[in-house]
Structure 1
Amino acid sequence: MVGIVCLSWLALSWPWLSGAVTIPWDAKAHFHPQLQFLADSWHRGLSPFWTPYVFSGSPQVADPQSLIFSPSFALIAALNPAPDFRWSDGAVLGTLLLGALSFVLIFRDRGWHPAGAVVAALAFAFGAAAAWRIQHVGQVLSLGYFAVTLFLLSRALERGSLGYGFAAGLASGFMVLGRDQVALIGVYVLAGLVIAAILMASSPWRAFRTSLPPLLAGTLGAILVATVPILLTAFIAQESNRPAIDFVEAGKGSLHPAALLTGLIANLYGAAGPLADFWGAPSPAWEARFGPLGLYLARNMSQLYLGLVPMGLILTIGIIRGALWRREIVALSVAALIVLLYALGRYTPAFRLLFELPGVSFYRRPADALFILGALLALLGGYLTHLVMTGAAPRARPWQLALEGLIFAGALALALWLAWTVGRIPVATTPLVVAVLCAIVSLGGLVAARGLARRDAALAATFVVAATLVMDLSVNNGPSESTALPPQMYEVLRKDSGNETIALLKRETARTAAPDRRDRIELAAIDFHWPNASLVHELDNTLGYNPLRLGLYSKATGAGDHVALPDQRSFSALMPGYRSLLADMLGLRFIATGVPVEQIDKGLKPGDLKQIARTRDAYVYENPRALPRLLLVTEAQKADFGAILSSGQWPPGFDPRRTVLLDREPPPLPTGAIGQGMATIRDYGTTTVTLAVDAPRGGYLVLNDVWHHWWQVEIDDRPAELLRANVLFRAVVVPPGKSTVRFVFRPLEGLYADIVARLRG
């Protein structure tokens, strides 16, 4: 059984594992650069807790998508200083295999037929959102840990085992480390299943007492794994750009009821092909016929297909004949129903109630529930396969057979009507024909497997079911534009990339480097996957791709989630364009854009920037006014940073080369301090920046790196006061003479101080 699942997994995963295609979109634009940065940091002996390479500095340790706390990706980073795409793709697919094997063990523990285990495992790993949204790496990892936790938890409760309970806690800890909606829904489902198991026991009180020790052990395991990372994220989130999500906004990510047809007809709406072919809700084609929906979902976010074997059995034997309400499976059935209602969001009254559950209001897209719904439906489909193989499935009465036929015919008719109404019959024809053919093959495979099972040929029956499902899933959920693209498209994200734009930026920043200067670059409107290329190639970038950023930086610079298109580079009051004092203070020296820069910053005038190159990918410009990273000044004044951010107006006559602005009364300098002296960069790491200062009579040392209160500063190994300077940057008062200044990022100490302050306040 395990061997069949592994071979099936290998067959379905081979397009990615072979390197013929790679998991695209977020998997490359966001997550692969994170892996490369993690690997670079560890192999250079640096900490990955802060990166200077995106958004002028970002706290990786608190970012739920940084992969620092993911065991599989952390192991890859430790082993390989330059992991290629197959490594990162393999980690994602391997996590799904781990979850699939967990389902196999659940079935074995219950003595259910191996064919059912194979159906559950393959439908889990290659069905619904696990297949269609595999590029959303963090959510896929949470899904895999959900399956592992479910297996370990079931063993812990059945055996009263502290060991399995503790292991379940560790697995659930890694699940919640995803800090995404899949993890949250997974926690609620697991908690509900535990409560159901206790209440449905013959003696609930005895079951509770028996379950309590393993549950406490599990709680301990989860606390050990997840507490610190979650607290780090929670405190950073308070200072981030993350907006509050209300009930109406969350409802815009609801699953449209018409998407349920994809449970039987995989590519009905053309989600696997070119974007222009997609006609499902909420595409322009759909809204042109049915009116605006106000939904914000990508084309791959509404796909429910698990294979016709599990889905067909759920509709017929499960729902119409009532097998899903058997005592041994009813808790899973109820859980699946509740998760489906949540996924449908604003289209059912249940969403109002579910939205009030703790944590739900942090997330904007109920349709993310399709990850967990797919896992639950996979288990149910596998269980029903077990009933068929063992002859325990309820026999159909004539009216039930008629209703079953009517459901499938009705689904095809509704699909045809929608396609005709929207004017997409040519796009829908092939998926409809494929669905009919797969239904015939799946039915034939089940009949053949049942015949083998009757002759006690369980292995052969399992193999037939596996082959049938592999064929089905490879045809309907196989590589598509949503899940697989040529790796050559992402060549710039390779550590050894020969991309001429990146090579040019590396040469130019090396050319302009100086003892006090470390110039920044900006990558804008080149392509979706470009912003985080700076993480791979160690270029200090003012932008990046990440939905979570420091709120202060976003407000000061206008930096958004990503900048694939010209209109996605928004500016701010304080940084109205590239010709601005804040751009100069950031040391923004080189700007690479996919279109002429005037199409991005319409306020530019001739001579504001100098074009230095035109590569195949980009126009490259130089800003000759960019200031050094270090400034040593002897004047300071208090300023209202909030007012400066809002108005975009610096104090009259402000020159950062002479004066530093502080958010408090300036600490005094030694009497008679004159002269600016000199400051140089001795060592610039990720979480430690060491500077040599020669200030004859002292001064204010300004480091034009993003300020955050988890940074600390030391002068000659003695603590000093970290100052917030010029709205966005760091500063410290240095004594007369020569000294060594170190800025150190200490998030754990900062977190502890924040917790203490919160408890006292």
Structure 2
Amino acid sequence: MSQPPASEPASPAARWPFASVVAIVLLCWIALSWPWLSGVVTIPWDAKAHFQPQLQFLAQAWHSGHSPFWTPYVFAGSPQVADPQSLIFSPPFALIAALEPVPGFRLGDFAVLGTLLAGALAFVVIFRDRDWHPAGAVVAALAFAFGAAAAWRIQHIGQVLSLGYFAITLALISRALERGSIAYGFAAGIVAGFMVLGRDQVALLGVYVLAGLVIAAIAMARNPWQALRTSLLPLLAGGLGAVLVATVPILLTAVLAEESNRPAIDLIGAGKGSLHPAALLTGLFANLYGAAGPLENFWGAPSPAFEARFGPQDLYLARNMSQLYLGLIPMGLVLTIGIVRGALLRREIVALSVATLLVLIFALGRFTPGFRLLFELPGIAFYRRPADALFILGALLALLGGYLTHLVMTGTEPRARRWQRILEVAIFAVALALALRLAWAVGRLSLAIVPLVTALLCGILCIGALVAARGFALRGAGLAAAIVIAVTLTVDLSVNNGPSESTALPSQDYDVLRADSTNETIALLKRETARTAGPDRRDRIELAGIGFHWPNASLVHQLDNTLGYNPLRLGLYSKATGAGDHVALPDQRTFSPLMPGYRSLLADMLGLRFIATGVPVEQIDKALKPGDLTQIARTPDAYVYENPRALPRVLLVTKTAKADFDAILASGQWPAGFDPRQTVLLDRDTPPLPPGPIVTGRSLPGPALPSSVRIADYGTTEVTLKVDAPQGGYVVLNDVWHHWWQAEIDGAPAELLRANVLFRAVAVPPGRSTVRFVFRPFRGLFEDIGTRLKAEQRPQG
């Protein structure tokens, strides 16, 4: 980072008590985290709607002896093992799931806040290793954990975890280079591997920043070749650690991505997630644009109020995605001592300053010409919001602010010339004037006054704290200075970045996501699906248009749901059913040619028996006619309907037909006369039945004899069926087809068939047999890789 590799060791790092500073940071962390840790509020939105159900499913699967690698509870089946947001490969959440069968909200919130604490303490380690002042360590730690996107977007769990791993990796890789340590290098690789497993834009940008800082540390050493030789083994050890942790999960996700609904994002599409330059004012004036709520008070880009005055911005950002505030002490020092006086160009920090500038350019996206060049970096096209860079930008600014605090506390900051002091005052005056001018232009001056006055009061407090702390520091009372700064920054961050509608809502708002919830709608669906269950039946439900946190409630309550909430889904399923990312609002339930509504053959084949909607179902499916569905209840949350035509989960048929599945998906037209209770459609020629005393063919001759198939065991990754087929036939399991599923008949491998466009089937011999469908993703991945390698080795032409 800012120190040379081991050939030029850092100064001794034992001049201030590490444990005491850790205690200061810990106490401030408790104070700032207490609203969530106490359970009074909980981290809302995605943290509950998406990640809490994932955690609950993971815990339930493990404690019930099942595998969490596949779930039948959303999108009629989904490969969790390849989903970067499933939390399977997230150490803090996986540990919670392993220890607690029913993890509550506070445990989930603690995992997020605890990861930020770990990152904050990693920054303390960085400062101690350089013998930078403990007050600077406190500033860096608290601004990192409770500033910018880490505070305002704490509900985006995956990105917050990646941010925490980034900080820890930075501390470990710094030690690895400074000490020539293979052990630290390997540890850095392990943590970086978990960061990469986030498979989000924060992780990707973190990798680029870390790589750039490593290259800079070696290049800027007094003897670069010696530095490179000394660093080589630690870096190789780091690469090995990252490969061991991340390779297989990333390959799983790469295969899923090719089969998913997620295309690459083009430059124009990514530009719509850019940080508007006006958002930079939030670096000094927290909540200037009313992002803390209520929603109608928000007037920043791209709100209707802002666009009404300045025209369409063509931006797609939530109100909390443009918040840069990380405390007036670090931001004020960056603008004055860092930029105006040039302290950020010092050799020991310049690489970090350059990295910060590049990340800022990236975050501004289409508002800077540099984004076009940065967009060409590998992997960038997979992500749609340059503004997500505010996570990494906040971390880098926290480090810079802490370093500048160190200069102030040690009296080594550049002395200001007269013109520099004038410019420093002018920066704040212009920022204040610009904020007032924008608020007046948009007609929100009355709303802007409170955050502006708050900023002025915090500014006075921070200036006083810096003067007092500097006095303590220059008299040798470093810990006293650190305490003064810590208390001041804690007050500042609690006032300006404290709980808001974006980051904290009452826990009772999410009662339906508790495993022991008595919610009337959920209780009804559980009763009804238990009532209609049969040897061959396992009816599905759908939750549509009820609320933001409802779609994934099925993961918590083990209800087989045709929908869910996830930006990553199997592309085949989305195309067949019209399932989108989310279905919080009625108009988010879109249909497809093959499933034009609830009165469709595909809905019946899915076994979609019960449908709960937040509005009368006719407002969602306007093609419904009286009698198509039967309303069975009206709960406080939903209208509940029954589809009496829903088919069983398993069928035994004796006829096959070859069909063009792509044509069926595109047209929505099944072959004439197709009846899934009699015939199975295949995308290949009819396979022969396993050996038996009958003649195989398209249609099995002979008198109809009693036959049956029943579900003997239904797990997450294993489904066992008992089949009695005197003439043989084809067992159809109306679960989503995926090539990582495999079939067995009486313990012997059998060919898994893709049936009826979307489902699974297997040919069974005459007589009684046991059929098992088993999800084997690692074997499937190995076979995928082998197939691709063989294809690449074939001669072309």
Deviates more, 1:703-712 or 1:393-402: 393-402
Aligned pair count?
A: 761
1:374 to 394, 401, 418: 394
**Does 1:130 find its partner at 2:150?**
yes
Q: Which amino acid aligns with 1:658?
A: Q
2:327 to 290, 307, 327: 307
Instruction: Report deviation, 1:426.
Output: 1.2
Question: For 2:163 and 2:399, how far apart are their aligned partners in 1?
Answer: 14
- Contact in 1 for aligned 2:270/2:383 (Cα 8 Å): yes
Question: For 2:165 and 2:359, how far apart are their aligned partners in 1?
Answer: 18
**Does 1:592 find its partner at 2:612?**
yes
Q: Which amino acid aligns with 2:763?
A: V
Report the counterpart of residue 686 of structure 1 in structure 2.
Answer: 716
Question: For 2:466 and 2:487, how far apart are their aligned partners in 1?
Answer: 11
RMSD of the alignment, in Å?
0.6
1:294 to 307, 311, 314: 314
- Contact in 2 for aligned 1:703/1:731 (Cα 8 Å): yes
**Does 1:715 find its partner at 2:745?**
yes
**Does 1:647 find its partner at 2:632?**
no
Partner of 2:735: helix, strand, or coil?
Answer: strand
Partner of 1:741: helix, strand, or coil?
Answer: strand
Question: For 2:148 and 2:787, how far apart are their aligned partners in 1?
Answer: 45
- Contact in 1 for aligned 2:605/2:734 (Cα 8 Å): yes
1:735 to 750, 765, 785: 765
**Does 1:659 find its partner at 2:679?**
yes
Q: Deviations over 1:290-349 (max 9, x none)?
A: 000110000000000000000000000000000000000000000000000000000111
Q: Which amino acid aligns with 1:607?
A: G
1:139 to 156, 159, 171: 159
- Contact in 1 for aligned 2:264/2:383 (Cα 8 Å): no
Question: For 1:572 and 1:255, how far apart are their aligned partners in 2?
Answer: 34
Instruction: Report deviation, 1:273.
Output: 1.2
Question: For 1:376 and 1:454, how far apart are their aligned partners in 2?
Answer: 27
- Contact in 2 for aligned 1:342/1:366 (Cα 8 Å): yes
Report the counterpart of residue 760 of structure 1 in structure 2.
Answer: 790
Q: Deviations over 1:104-161 (max 9, x none)?
A: 0000000000000000000000000000000000000000000000000000000000
Question: For 2:375 and 2:431, how far apart are their aligned partners in 1?
Answer: 30
**Does 1:577 find its partner at 2:597?**
yes
Instruction: Report deviation, 1:697.
Output: 1.1
Instruction: Report deviation, 1:244.
Output: 2.4
**Does 1:56 find its partner at 2:86?**
no
Instruction: Report deviation, 1:667.
Output: 1.1
Q: Deviations over 1:235-282 (max 9, x none)?
A: 010000002211100100000000000000000000001110000000
Over the matched positions of the two proteins, sequence identity in percent amounts to 80
2:136 to 116, 124, 127: 116
2:781 to 736, 745, 751: 751
Question: For 1:243 and 1:142, how far apart are their aligned partners in 2?
Answer: 22
Instruction: Report deviation, 1:758.
Output: 1.2
Question: For 1:101 and 1:337, how far apart are their aligned partners in 2?
Answer: 24
Q: Which amino acid aligns with 1:666?
A: T
- Contact in 2 for aligned 1:254/1:295 (Cα 8 Å): yes
Question: For 1:189 and 1:370, how far apart are their aligned partners in 2?
Answer: 13
- Map 1:124-523 onto structure 2 (within 5 A): 124-523=144-543
- Contact in 1 for aligned 2:185/2:235 (Cα 8 Å): yes
Q: Deviations over 1:490-520 (max 9, x none)?
A: 0000000010100000000000000000000
Partner of 1:543: helix, strand, or coil?
Answer: coil
Q: Deviations over 1:469-509 (max 9, x none)?
A: 00000000000000000010000000000101000000000
- Contact in 2 for aligned 1:634/1:673 (Cα 8 Å): no
Question: For 1:566 and 1:38, how far apart are their aligned partners in 2?
Answer: 29
- Map 1:58-77 onto structure 2 (within 5 A): 58-77=78-97
Question: For 2:353 and 2:773, how far apart are their aligned partners in 1?
Answer: 55
Q: Deviations over 1:357-391 (max 9, x none)?
A: 11111111000000000000000000000000000
Instruction: Report deviation, 1:668.
Output: 2.7
Question: For 2:348 and 2:669, how far apart are their aligned partners in 1?
Answer: 67
Q: Which amino acid aligns with 2:765?
A: P
Question: For 2:585 and 2:383, how far apart are their aligned partners in 1?
Answer: 25
Question: For 1:696 and 1:649, how far apart are their aligned partners in 2?
Answer: 33
Unaligned runs of 5+ in 2: 1-20, 792-797
Q: Which amino acid aligns with 2:481?
A: A
- Contact in 1 for aligned 2:659/2:682 (Cα 8 Å): yes
Instruction: Report deviation, 1:531.
Output: 0.2
1:532 to 532, 552, 571: 552
Question: For 2:462 and 2:789, how far apart are their aligned partners in 1?
Answer: 60
Hey, which bits of structure 1, 4+ residues long, moved more than 2 A?
672-676
Question: For 1:177 and 1:155, how far apart are their aligned partners in 2?
Answer: 23
Partner of 1:579: helix, strand, or coil?
Answer: coil
Instruction: Report deviation, 1:231.
Output: 0.2
Q: Which amino acid aligns with 1:725?
A: A
Q: Deviations over 1:563-599 (max 9, x none)?
A: 0111000000000000000000000000000000000
Instruction: Report deviation, 1:712.
Output: 0.1
Question: For 1:382 and 1:455, how far apart are their aligned partners in 2?
Answer: 20
Q: Which amino acid aligns with 1:723?
A: L
Partner of 2:41: helix, strand, or coil?
Answer: coil
- Contact in 2 for aligned 1:673/1:699 (Cα 8 Å): no
- Contact in 2 for aligned 1:286/1:422 (Cα 8 Å): yes
Q: Which amino acid aligns with 2:630?
A: K
Question: For 1:459 and 1:115, how far apart are their aligned partners in 2?
Answer: 7
Q: Which amino acid aligns with 1:664?
A: R
Partner of 1:705: helix, strand, or coil?
Answer: coil
2:118 to 63, 77, 98: 98
Instruction: Report deviation, 1:432.
Output: 0.5
Q: Deviations over 1:155-201 (max 9, x none)?
A: 00000001000000000000000000000000000000000000000
Question: For 1:552 and 1:237, how far apart are their aligned partners in 2?
Answer: 12
Partner of 2:730: helix, strand, or coil?
Answer: strand
Question: For 1:364 and 1:488, how far apart are their aligned partners in 2?
Answer: 33
- Contact in 2 for aligned 1:53/1:541 (Cα 8 Å): yes
Deviates more, 1:54-63 or 1:426-435: 426-435
Partner of 2:542: helix, strand, or coil?
Answer: strand
**Does 1:28 find its partner at 2:48?**
yes
Instruction: Report deviation, 1:673.
Output: 5.1
- Contact in 1 for aligned 2:263/2:382 (Cα 8 Å): no
Question: For 1:404 and 1:543, how far apart are their aligned partners in 2?
Answer: 55
- Contact in 2 for aligned 1:613/1:621 (Cα 8 Å): yes
Instruction: Report deviation, 1:285.
Output: 0.5
Question: For 2:369 and 2:789, how far apart are their aligned partners in 1?
Answer: 38
Question: For 1:639 and 1:677, how far apart are their aligned partners in 2?
Answer: 26
Unaligned runs of 5+ in 1: none
Partner of 1:706: helix, strand, or coil?
Answer: coil
Question: For 1:365 and 1:693, how far apart are their aligned partners in 2?
Answer: 51
Question: For 2:378 and 2:160, how far apart are their aligned partners in 1?
Answer: 22
Q: Deviations over 1:30-80 (max 9, x none)?
A: 000000000000000000000000000000000000000001000000000
